C-alpha cells in the first residue's frame, strides 16, 4: 500500500510538471523515427536526452530546415527532463516576446521575465523567423543573459546562428546576447527531408489502407506472345509504414 501511494504521488507530480511545461504535444524520443533521416546525429541527441547538460547549465541549439523534427526533439528532451523531476517551460519565441512586450505596457515586465528565468529548462521554439524590433532585441538580451547564469535553454531555428545577429536592430545587443548563448551551447545540425508530407490526410489514408491489407490494382499488362491477348491483374502489397509523426 505504501509503495502504491508513493508511486501515485510520483505520477501526479510528473503530470503536473508536464502540464506546467505547456508542450504543444507530449512527445518522446521513442516516438521519433531516426531511420527516416539517417544523417541525423542520433547518438548526440540521445546523449542530450539524458539531461546532463541541464545539470551543467548548458544550452542546446537545434538548427535545420522545416520538418526535420526540431520541435519534436526539443519537446522529447523536455519530457525527459520532466521525468527526472526538473522544471521545464516550452513556448514559441514570438509568444515569449509578445508576453514580455505586454509587460512594458502594464508595468509587469519584471514579473513576466521571472516566469522564464525560474525553470531548469526553457525551450524557445521557432527562433528567428523574422527580425526583432528594438524592444524585442532588448528583451531577448535580458532573457538570454539571465538564463545563461541560471539554467539551460533549448533553441530551435530554421536559420544557422551566423544569421541571427542580423535579426537584431542593435548589433551591440546582438553580440552581447548571442555570444553568451551560442558559445555556451551544444550545436545540433539536423539535415534531411521533411516528415510533414507523411502527415497529410491522404498519406495517412493510404498508409491505413496498406496496413489493413487492401490490394491496389494497377494498369493491366498485355502479353505480346499470346495470340489472344489476356489481361493479368497485378497486385502489390505495400510495406507497413512507420507510425511515428514528428514536427
In this structure, the answer to whether residues 177 and 56 fall within a common structural domain is: yes
Write out pLDDT tens, residues 142-167.
999 999 999 999 999 999 999 999 99
Domain for residue 243, yes or no? no
Domain for residue 157, yes or no? yes
Write out pLDDT tens, residues 82-127.
999 999 999 999 999 999 999 999 999 999 999 999 999 999 999 9
Q: 47: domain range?
A: 2-189
pLDDT at 204: 52
If one counts the domains in the chain, the total is: 2
The pLDDT-based confidence of 5 (bands split at 50, 70, 90) is confident
Write out pLDDT tens, residues 11-32.
999 999 999 999 999 899 999 9
* Helix and strand element counts for the chain (H, E): 9, 9
Between the CA of residue 160 and those of 43, 49, 166, 178, what are the distances in Å? 21, 22, 12, 12
Domain for residue 63, yes or no? yes
In this structure, the answer to whether residues 124 and 140 fall within a common structural domain is: yes
Domain for residue 222, yes or no? yes
If one counts every other C-beta atom within 10 angstroms of the C-beta of residue 155, the result is 25
Q: Quick one: average pLDDT of 36-42?
A: 93
- Average pLDDT value over all residues in the chain: 85
Q: Quick one: average pLDDT of 32-57?
A: 95
Short-list 160, 157, 117, CA closest to 139: 117
Phi and psi, residue 172, nearest 5°: -70, -45
pTM: 0.79
In this structure, the answer to whether residues 138 and 222 fall within a common structural domain is: no
Domain for residue 165, yes or no? yes
In this structure, the answer to whether residues 136 and 210 fall within a common structural domain is: no
Domain for residue 246, yes or no? no
Amino acid at each position: 500500500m505504501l509503495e502504491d501511494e508513493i508511486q501515485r504521488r510520483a505520477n501526479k507530480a510528473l503530470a503536473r510538471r508536464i502540464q506546467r511545461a505547456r508542450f504543444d504535444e507530449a512527445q518522446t524520443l521513442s516516438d521519433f523515427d531516426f531511420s527516416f533521416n539517417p544523417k541525423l546525429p542520433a547518438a548526440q541527441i540521445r546523449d542530450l536526452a539524458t539531461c546532463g547538460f541541464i545539470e551543467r547549465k548548458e544550452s542546446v541549439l537545434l538548427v535545420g530546415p522545416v520538418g526535420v523534427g526540431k520541435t519534436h526533439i526539443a519537446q522529447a528532451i523536455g519530457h525527459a527532463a520532466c521525468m527526472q523531476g526538473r522544471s521545464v517551460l516550452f513556448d514559441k519565441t514570438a509568444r515569449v516576446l509578445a508576453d514580455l512586450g505586454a509587460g512594458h505596457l502594464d508595468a509587469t515586465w519584471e514579473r513576466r521575465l521571472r516566469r522564464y528565468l525560474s525553470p531548469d529548462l526553457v525551450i524557445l521554439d521557432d527562433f528567428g523567423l523574422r527580425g526583432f524590433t528594438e524592444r524585442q532585441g532588448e528583451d531577448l538580451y535580458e532573457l538570454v543573459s539571465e538564463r545563461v547564469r541560471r539554467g539551460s535553454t533549448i533553441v530551435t531555428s530554421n536559420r544557422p546562428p551566423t544569421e541571427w545577429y542580423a535579426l537584431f536592430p542593435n548589433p551591440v545587443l546582438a553580440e552581447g546576447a548571442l555570444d553568451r548563448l551560442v558559445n555556451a551551447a551544444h550545436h545540433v545540425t539536423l539535415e534531411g527531408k521533411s516528415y510533414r508530407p507523411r502527415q497529410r490526410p491522404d498519406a495517412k489514408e493510404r498508409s491505413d489502407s496498406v496496413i489493413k491489407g487492401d490490394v491496389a490494382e494497377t494498369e493491366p499488362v498485355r502479353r505480346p506472345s499470346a495470340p489472344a491477348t489476356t489481361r493479368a491483374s497485378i497486385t502489390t502489397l505495400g510495406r507497413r509504414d512507420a507510425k511515428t509523426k514528428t514536427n
